[in-house]
Structure formats: C-alpha cells, structure tokens
Structure 1
Amino acid sequence: MADDKDVLRDVWFGRIPSCFTLNSDEVTEREAEPYYLMLPRVSYLTLVTDKVKKHFLKAMRTDEVEEMWFEYEGTPLKWHYPIGVLFDLHASASALPWSIIVHFKSFPDRDLLHCPTNSVIEAHFMSSIKEADVLKHKSQVVNDMQKKDHKQLWMGLQNGFVTFSFGFDCDERVFNRT
C-alpha cells in the first residue's frame, strides 16, 4: 500500500507547466505578455480563469470581452474535463510548457458547454464524484458524507489539495472503500 500511496501523492501534487497566450486576433489595446502557471492535474481550467482573465484584460477593451475560453492547437478545451486529462489527451507528447491560447470572442457553442459561474463547476464536480461513487459503491460513500465534507472536498480542489493527507483521506473514502 505504501507504493500506492506514493503514486496517489504524485497524482495529487502533479503540476503541468503552462503558458497562456492571448489569441493574436483579439489584442486590441497593447501586446499582452504570456501568463505562466503551474496547473494542478486534479483541477479544472475554469478554476484558474480569474487569474488568467485579470492578466489579459489589460490588453483588451472591456466592451470587446465576451465569455473566456481556451484552445490548444485549434481544439477548444472542455472546462468540465480535469486539467490532467486535457493535457494527456491533447498535449502529452508536446514540449513543455503547455501552450494554451486564450479567447474572449467567438465562443464555440458547438464544441463547448457554457460555464457562467463557479457554482456550475462545483455542481459538475460533485456530480462526477457522486457518479463515481454510484459506479463503485452503489452510492454508499458520498451519500453518507455530510454537507461540510462535500464543501471541504470542493475547497480542497479549489486550493489545489494543499495537504496530501486531506486529499488522500477523501480519495480513500470515495474510491478505495470495499
């Protein structure tokens, strides 16, 4: 089990060096510097949008800003997939940092779901956890958790699971219960 715990620790703390660049067609005020972040593999792009948006709004006229979305090599990145999954699907063979293009215009309605608020992300995340619990435990674990445990799990995701013991405890309860 110690080896499994080491692997889980690596997954929880896994980060992907990333470079966000504003789409060149959308620069309106002045050239925007790229924005570099170490993205947690077990998080979602929408949880870093506030930082990215704040950085790039300096180069945009506010009247030209629509819903923000991301792409990699022409493919819109789905906000409801974990960052690690997106990277593995689209860019794992690429050189690092992962180059992500930021858009504020022309939202691809046919390819992406809209994500208006963080509460939508939270609801999707908890729904995914409940779905995994149903498949593995027939709803025994997540339904037995208190509301504060759900909130703690969500806060952990938002904060990058700062402490491994917290993430490991949740992982143990949800995924490794027999």
Structure 2
Amino acid sequence: MTTSDIITRVWGGVLHVKFQLDPVLATEECPFYYATLYRNSFLHSSLADLVQFYKPHLKDPSLGETPNWWFEFEKVPLKWNLPIGLLYDLTTTDSQAEKQAWELTLRYHDYPVEYVIPIEPNTNFLKSYWINQLKEACFILNGSSKLVMNMSRTETDEFYQAAIHKESVQYETAFRRLLPSNISSLKNIPIKIYLPLSNKLIQPVIANVGRKLTLGNLLQSLIPDLFPSSLMYTVAHPVSHGVVLPIDSPVVDLYICMKSLDAFLHISIRMIQKSDLD
C-alpha cells in the first residue's frame, strides 16, 4: 500500500453517530439525529446543522442563536478542539465500540469550562484554533512558524477549506509546503500521545529525527512501563485513526501518513485486554 493510499484511507475514515438533545432543553417528542461523520474532522463542524435540526424541538428557541453548545458522552464532556476520531478512541472501550453508533448528547447549560476550552462568541473559533495549531506544527517541524505566517489570506483560507471539506489532495499539496526539502532537516515531529486512564498528554521532543527511529523505539524511551519492548506490544497498544500502529514503523513515515487535519499525529494509548492476547 502506497503513502497516497494510506492518506486517502485516513481522510475517508468515518464514525456513525447518534445524537440526542439534552432532555432538559427539549420538548416532549424530540427525535434522534443520526449522522456519519469523518474521523478526521471536528465535532463542531456539524453543530450548525445539528442545532438547526433541533431548533423546532427547543423549549427556548433563542438558544439556537448562541454558541455555547457542547457535547457529552456518558457524562464525559468532549473537547471541541480534538478530532472526532481521537475523541472516540480516547473515550470508548472495546465493548462500547461494538455498538452500531456512538451515542452523544448535545448540551447547552453548565458549560464545563474546567475541561473544555470556552468558545468566544462572534468568532470563527474552529478556524482560529486550526491556524494556531498549524503554526505550532510548523514551528516544531522547522524551528519557525514563518512558512505559515507568510501565507496569504487566500492561501490560508484555501488550506483551511481543504481541511474542513476533506479535500485531501489540496490539503496535502498545501501541507507539503510546511516540510523541509530534506527529511534530515526536520527539527522535530508534531506528535501528541494521550495516556490511558488519565488526562496526561506527552509531546515528545525528538533529538534525532530520521527514518531509523521507529515507533517502538520512541514509545519505549518515553513510556517504558507500558512499552518495555521496542519489538512487540505486551502491555498497551498505540492507536491512531482507530488503527493499532505497527511497532516497527518509522515515526517520520507515520507522521506523513497518519497526521490529522490539525497537522499533528495524535496517538492514544490503550491497554491490551486479555481477549486481545487469545
């Protein structure tokens, strides 16, 4: 399978989602909203359609004009700034994953500010966040954010629209401008590793970037308790876009193929269950 094939599959991955409106907000007969959403996207990209659907069923229709909606899964608030697929991988267990649809609740009151970044009204918060992430990724890759800062407004808008509308070819064309011409010139790789059963996030600083550095080497150096071997998984699995990543994969290649729309490679660590070893 070629790099292009893997990138196409990453952008094409989907989740089936079943939304319900918070009963506190809803009239008595309120339907569910079913959607098939791309893993490599943000939940709030669908918010306008969702609120429009539920507007006739709101006890207070004026809520449909305000921005502070948030999503919840089994009483866990979901962070709007993380890709949908990552949220799913971080919050679901194997038994929950067997369900036909991911069941989420749309809420408004009691915004969980201690856990979810507040949304500023009258701003394109998703675009602003995405641009800031792109600048950070560019700085990690090159030691400077100038390549993003020097983009024209039109170039930035087209890049963002390609990310949001899943135009993978256009996105990859724009993204390649952020990479140095030679892999050996990479300063670091934008990676975020999410540990299980905690809110701990690791952003590794990779001193020797090159194709010889494998995922197994990286994980063993960062989290030896969970990855005592660089040759096989015995305690935990690294997952990205719902896929267990091969331990012998070069980290550079994984980044190129498996990065998310915010230009970071997100890896969630899942403990290996006994059933996985049978």
Unaligned ranges ≥5, structure 2: 183-278
Indicate the residue corresponding to 1:123 in structure 2.
128
Indicate the residue corresponding to 2:157 in structure 1.
151
Within the alignment, does 1:97 sit opposite 2:101 as a pair? yes
Q: Pick the structure with greater CA Rg.
A: 2
Which amino acid letter does the alignment assign opposite residue 46 of structure 1? H
Within the alignment, does 1:36 sit opposite 2:34 as a pair? yes
Cα deviation for residue 171 of structure 1 reads: 3.2
Which amino acid letter does the alignment assign opposite residue 71 of structure 2? F
Indicate the residue corresponding to 1:109 in structure 2.
113
Indicate the residue corresponding to 2:137 in structure 1.
132
Cα deviation for residue 111 of structure 1 reads: 1.8
Deviations along 1:10-34, whole A, 9 cap, x unmatched? 112222111111123332x232111
* TM-score, structure 1 as length reference: 0.85
Runs of 4+ in 1 over 6 A off after TM superposition: none
Question: What is the RMSD of the two structures over their aligned residues, measured on CA atoms?
Answer: 2.2
Q: Which moved more, 1:92-101 or 1:149-158?
A: 92-101
Corresponding pairs, count: 174
Q: Is the 8 A contact 1:12 1:167 kept in 2?
A: no
Which amino acid letter does the alignment assign opposite residue 170 of structure 2? F
Cα deviation for residue 140 of structure 1 reads: 5.0
Cα deviation for residue 154 of structure 1 reads: 1.4
Q: Which moved more, 1:109-118 or 1:9-18?
A: 109-118
Indicate the residue corresponding to 1:59 in structure 2.
57
Q: Is the 8 A contact 2:79 2:116 kept in 1?
A: yes
Indicate the residue corresponding to 2:23 in structure 1.
24
Unaligned ranges ≥5, structure 1: none
Which amino acid letter does the alignment assign opposite residue 40 of structure 2? V
Q: Is the 8 A contact 1:45 1:79 kept in 2?
A: yes
Structure with a larger share of its residues in helix: 1
Change (3 A) 1:146 1:107: same
SS in 2 for 1:24: coil
* Whole-angstrom distance in 1 between the partners of 2:46 and 2:57: 18
SS in 2 for 1:48: helix
* TM-score, structure 2 as length reference: 0.57
Q: Percent identity, aligned pairs only?
A: 21
Indicate the residue corresponding to 2:187 in structure 1.
none
> RCO greater where, 1 or 2, for CA within 8 Å and sep 6 or more?
1
Q: Which moved more, 1:44-53 or 1:84-93?
A: 84-93
